[in-house]
Amino acid sequence: MKEAMISERLTFHHGVHPEEFKDLTAHLPVERMPFVDEYVVPLSQHAGAPSVPLVRAGQRVQRGEMIARAAAFVSVAQHAPATGTVSAIELAEHPNGLLMDAIRIKADPFSSQTMNGRKGLRWQDMDFKTFIESVQAAGLVGLGGAGFPAHVKFSIPEGKTCRYLIANGCECEPFLTADHRIMVEHASELVQGLTILRHFVPAEKVFIGIENNKLDAMEVLGREIRRQNEDFEVVPLKVKYPQGAEKMLIKAVLKREVPTGKLPIDVETLVSNVGTLVALAQYFTASIPLIERVVTVTGTAIRRPANLIIPVGTPVKHVIEWCGGVTNEAVRILLGGPMMGMAQKSLDVPITKGISGVLVLTHNEVRDLTTYKCIRCGRCVEVCPMYLNPSLMGLMARKGMYDEMEQLHVLDCFECASCSFVCPSGIPLVQSFRVAKSMIRERKART
Amino acid sequence: MFQVVFALIPVICAAFYFFGVSAILLCVTASVSCMAAEWLFSTGPERHRSLKDGSALITGLLLALSLPPGFPVWMTCLGGFAAIAIGKFIWGGLGQNIFNPALVGRAFLQAAFPTAITTWTRPGGGLLDARGTNLALPFFQGETLDAVTSATPLARMKFQHEPTALIDLMVGNTGGSLGETCGIIILLAGVYLAVRKIFNWHIPVSILATVVALSSTFYWVDPLRYPSPLHMVFSGGLLLGAVFMATDPVTSPFTIQGCWMFGAGIGVLVVLIRIFGGLPEGVMYAILLMNAATPLINRVTRYRVYGTR
């Protein structure tokens, strides 16, 4: 085990090697995006019940003020990203393509947008229950993309123990460099975040998993860990997609597999994205709730690629405008990474808590939509990190054979899109699995 | 899939060099008849893009390259049609067939015209002369002059125990099917396809390794009776089959482990048929038999899903 930790070849099996494109932004320090005049804060930016608004149209709100509370345990609070006036609570376009309830805020053009008089919380004397409630009140969700409420993850169920804590700094999606910059520029807060979390979740061992293409981040973090006298271990991992997926990371670092249908805690492990940990530290040391996040604005068709701190709720059109607009070759805008990101039809959608990138792509990176028949070449079978058979499931999906797909463990698919990426026939495999999964879940919910 | 067509071009050129215009004649006939059948049997919206994927073209070229140079054009035409109809469309079209269509076409011809398909002309002769019975009228076998026919190296080995010089086998200066004689060019084409990651290199490697291992054993037991491993590899259709036919993605297994098993099975069958069977050559039947075993191999070599026991 010890020797394996030192080796730089730690990884999982299968997976793909897409071109990285990280050079566009990897060297650019994070800059703060100026405030704009309107914000759209969706009530559902997380997995679970949508938050319940605490404000009315016309009401003034302060930056950082709670404007919606958690509706249930699996739900979080929302906060005002800027000082201004609530203009409406209505349906608005959401990055997931649906219309969802959101609080519209008209920013006060004369406000300095500073947050005065905020002190940290005394977390050292806090009990576990208060900790969980504070994390929920901070509106904290996993910033890696899935948007799972952080406090739910941190609440270890009765009878389970957490022996390993892993900070996820893989950032295996091409193009994205937000986590990379966070690790380089907020190393001290990241280590602090891990210290706070370990205070409440007493893990024996703490790891920070980083792909081998971020040597500067490993160095800075190594120094910071020594400076803060911690025993965390920086684990270099092979550059491979989807190394940053929770299950793949656990496999690479601990050589353990999360049983099907179970959670990482079932193998005594807790994984958290580095951005989430920094946000945790910022809340407990300076009382700043999750009102902004680091986003990589990049792609081959954006004029000025950048790593930006963007208030949650900023419409994408303003972000693109701030980055110099798009070039004539732009054909597609994605929120998230190129592998798992969501293509957008409107630029009015806001940046939400789970969005780590705004990608503007040209024709060269966007796949031709022509599909051919499956020739059963098995490339998808050889790349699926979950060892599923996408080829067979793809054929079944076309016939609506969802029960058979469930037997082939389609519910274990976490939609990394490696299969669609390698398919020589251009078959939208992962899209059909997404449909199949929701159909199976719906059918189960009904019975 | 057009990369495979590009890789076949040098093989066709070699066939042209050794067998003259006959090579072009058969390649064109088989491709056209395969593509015509593909177009005819596709229905609805499939039809206008049925030829775009290039699979029918590959089937046609491979069928032609596996035929004797003097094979009548009209039979070739029939073979191409059968390859697509019986080899592919009755199973449901591209991706659904169990057997390699080109080999189904060839098996059909072997059953229908056993004499014509085992009459081999010698390499050499004018580039523009049609060989053997190429131009026989439909429904006629045509007549072949004995002077221009020759036994294949495998037949000579089997029935007269007379090995052919290795250099002739490698360069292709022997009797045999159009595309199978020049081993070196086929190997180079295979290397190209492997480097460009167009095909699964595990299959040819495992076939050739098995053949070499097994035939070495026989050769070691009795070098006079059995051919040497290199003779085994470079004679007959083994290289053409291993590089271009066994690697057909549709009819080969999904997983790498499955591909090793598939290749090993073909290798064993080829050696057994060649040495103990009634026919001098067994690549076609070896591949077809293992095609039939592919679903079974897929079942046996299923991966254990992450997080399951």
Give the CA angle between residues A54, A56, A58 to the nearest 5°: 140
Q: What Cα–Cα distance (Å) separates residue B7 from each residue in A263, B185, B187? A: 48, 10, 10
For residue B144, pLDDT beyond 70: no
What pLDDT, in 10s, does the model give residues B241-254?
A: 999 999 999 999 99
Facing residue for B94 by CB, picked from A247, A373, A381? A373
Contact yes or no for A388 and B305 at CB 8 A: yes
Q: 3-class secondary structure for chain B?
A: CHHHHHHHHHHHHHHHHHHCHHHHHHHHHHHHHHHHHHHHHCCCCHHHHCCCCCHHHHHHHHHHHCCCCCCCHHHHHHHHHHHHHHHCHHHCCCCCCCCCHHHHHHHHHHHHCCCHHHCCECCCCCCCCCCCCCCCCCCCCCCCCHHHECCCHHHHHHHHCCCCCHHHHHHCCCCCCCCCCCHHHHHHHHHHHHHCCCCCCHHHHHHHHHHHHHHHHHHHHCCCCCCCHHHHHHCCCHHHHHHHHCCCHHHCCCCHHHHHHHHHHHHHHHHHHHHHCCCCCCHHHHHHHHHHHHHHHHHHCCCCCCCCC
Q: pLDDT confidence of A4, banded at 50, 70, 90?
A: very low
What pLDDT, in 10s, does the model give residues B53-98?
A: 889 999 999 999 999 988 999 999 999 999 999 999 999 888 899 9
**Mean pLDDT of the B259-274 span:** 96
**Mean pLDDT of the B119-124 span:** 80
Query: Which helix H or strand E contains A383, and what residues bound it?
Result: helix A379-383
Contact yes or no for B305 and A412 at CB 8 A: yes
Query: Which helix H or strand E contains A234, and what residues bound it?
Result: strand A233-237
Q: pLDDT confidence of A427, banded at 50, 70, 90?
A: very high
In Å, how far is A148's CA from the nearest CA of chain B? 21
In chain B, the residue whose alpha carbon lies closest to the alpha carbon of A425 is B53
Q: Does A391 touch chain B (CB under 8 A)?
A: yes
Give contacts of A247 with chain B, Cβ < 8 Å. Answer: 306-307
In Å, how far is B249's CA from the nearest CA of chain A? 4
Enumerate residues 6+ apart whose C-beta is below 8 A from A241: A15, A16, A17, A18, A172, A173, A174, A339, A416, A418
Contact yes or no for B307 and A381 at CB 8 A: no
In chain A, the residue whose alpha carbon lies closest to the alpha carbon of B51 is A372
**Mean pLDDT of the A116-128 span:** 85
CA distance linking residue B182 with residue A327, whole number of Å:
52
8 Å CB contact between A33 and A82: no
Ordered strands of the A84-93 beta sheet? A38-42, A99-107, A84-93, A60-61
pLDDT of amino acid B46 = 80
Q: pLDDT confidence of B51, banded at 50, 70, 90?
A: confident
For residue A118, pLDDT beyond 70: yes
Enumerate residues 6+ apart whose C-beta is below 8 A from B3: B193, B196, B198
Contact yes or no for B306 and A262 at CB 8 A: no
**Mean pLDDT of the B38-42 span:** 92
**So what's the ipTM on this one?**
0.85
CA distance linking residue A67 with residue A373, whole number of Å:
51
Interface test with A, best of B306, B308, B309 (most A CBs within 10 A): B306
Q: Does A386 touch chain B (CB under 8 A)?
A: yes
Structure tokens at A4: 């394996």
Percentage of chain A lying above the pLDDT 70 cut: 98
Looking up tokens 């299959």 gives: B203
CA distance linking residue B189 with residue B176, whole number of Å:
19
Q: What burial class does residue A238 get, using C-beta atoms within 10 Å of its C-beta: 0-12 exposed, 13-18 middle, 19+ buried?
A: middle
CA distance linking residue B234 with residue B251, whole number of Å:
24
Q: 3-class secondary structure for B64-129?
A: HHCCCCCCCHHHHHHHHHHHHHHHCHHHCCCCCCCCCHHHHHHHHHHHHCCCHHHCCECCCCCCCC
**How far from chain centre, in Å, is Cα B144?**
24
For residue A7, pLDDT beyond 70: no
Q: Which of A82-96, A113-127, A399-413, B21-35 has the lowest mean pLDDT?
A: A113-127
pLDDT of amino acid A2 = 39
**Mean pLDDT of the A107-114 span:** 90
pLDDT of amino acid B224 = 85
Contact yes or no for A409 and B94 at CB 8 A: no
pLDDT of amino acid A8 = 52
Enumerate residues 6+ apart whose C-beta is below 8 A from B45: none
Query: Running DSSP on this structure, what letter comes out for residue A50?
Result: P
8 Å CB contact between B171 and B227: no
Q: pLDDT confidence of A5, banded at 50, 70, 90?
A: very low
For residue A380, pLDDT beyond 60: yes
Q: pLDDT confidence of B148, banded at 50, 70, 90?
A: low
User: How many Cβ atoms sit within 10 Å of the Cβ of residue B42?
Assistant: 18
Cβ–Cβ pairs < 8 A, chains A and B:
68
Percentage of chain A lying above the pLDDT 90 cut: 86
Q: pLDDT confidence of A3, banded at 50, 70, 90?
A: very low
pLDDT of amino acid A116 = 73
User: How many Cβ atoms sit within 10 Å of the Cβ of residue A79?
Assistant: 24
**Beta bridge pairs of residue A296:** A307, A357
pLDDT of amino acid A41 = 97
CA distance linking residue A38 with residue A34, whole number of Å:
12
For residue B190, pLDDT beyond 90: yes
Q: pLDDT confidence of B167, banded at 50, 70, 90?
A: confident
Question: HSE of A40 in the Cβ direction (CA atoms, 13 Å)?
Answer: 22
For residue A346, pLDDT beyond 60: yes
CA distance linking residue B300 with residue B257, whole number of Å:
10
Question: HSE of A142 in the Cβ direction (CA atoms, 13 Å)?
Answer: 22
**Beta bridge pairs of residue A357:** A296
Structure tokens at A379: 């490339």
CA distance linking residue A135 with residue A183, whole number of Å:
21
Q: Which of A270-274, A416-420, B148-152, B276-280 has the lowest mean pLDDT?
A: B148-152
In chain A, the residue whose alpha carbon lies closest to the alpha carbon of B52 is A372
Facing residue for A377 by CB, picked from B249, B303, B307? B249
In Å, how far is A18's CA from the nearest CA of chain B? 15
Between B290 and A1, the more confident residue is B290
Contact yes or no for B303 and A389 at CB 8 A: yes
Between B109 and B125, the more confident residue is B109
8 Å CB contact between A131 and A123: yes
Q: Which of A138-142, A366-370, B175-179 has the lowest mean pLDDT?
A: A366-370
Give the CA angle between residues A225, A228, A229 to the nearest 5°: 80
pLDDT of amino acid B118 = 86
Looking up tokens 């040495």 gives: B275
What pLDDT, in 10s, does the model give residues A278-320?
A: 999 999 999 999 999 999 999 999 999 999 999 999 999 999 9
pLDDT of amino acid B146 = 56
Structure tokens at B155: 């037949």
CA distance linking residue A388 with residue A199, whole number of Å:
38
**Mean pLDDT of the A21-38 span:** 95
What pLDDT, in 10s, does the model give residues A202-258?
A: 899 999 999 999 999 999 999 999 999 999 999 999 999 999 999 999 999 999 999
